[in-house]
Amino acid sequence: MLNAQEFENWCHRFKISGQARSVIEQIRSSEPVRRVRSNGINVVGSYSSMKMGRTIQFESHKVELPASEEYEQDNDVLEYYDQPYRLSLKVKAKNGRTVTVTHVPDFFVIRNAQTKRENGSLRSFETRMGKNQKSRGTTKLCDFLPQNQATFRL
78 CB-near residues (< 8 Å, 6+ apart): 1, 2, 10, 110, 111, 112
| 49 has pLDDT over 70 | yes
- What's the CATH number for 4-153? 3.40.1350
Binned at pLDDT 50, 70 and 90, residue 99 comes out as confident
pLDDT > 90? residue 23: no
Listed by start position, the domains of the chain span: 4-153
> Between residues 79 and 113, which one has the greater pLDDT?
79
Answer with the residue of higher pLDDT: 115 or 146: 146
The SS3 call for residue 49 is: strand
Burial (CB < 10 A; 0-12, 13-18, 19+), residue 145, is: buried
- pLDDT attached to residue 152: 55
pLDDT of residue 55: 94
Element holding 107 (H helix, E strand): strand 107-111
Query: Per-residue pLDDT averaged across 60-64, rounded?
Result: 87
The overall average pLDDT reported for the chain is 77
Bridge partners (DSSP) listed for residue 108? 81, 152
- Stretch 55-69: mean pLDDT: 91
Q: Say how far apart CA 146 and CA 40 lie, in whole Å.
A: 37
Q: What is the pLDDT of residue 46?
A: 93
pTM: 0.74
The 8-class DSSP code of residue 59 comes to: S
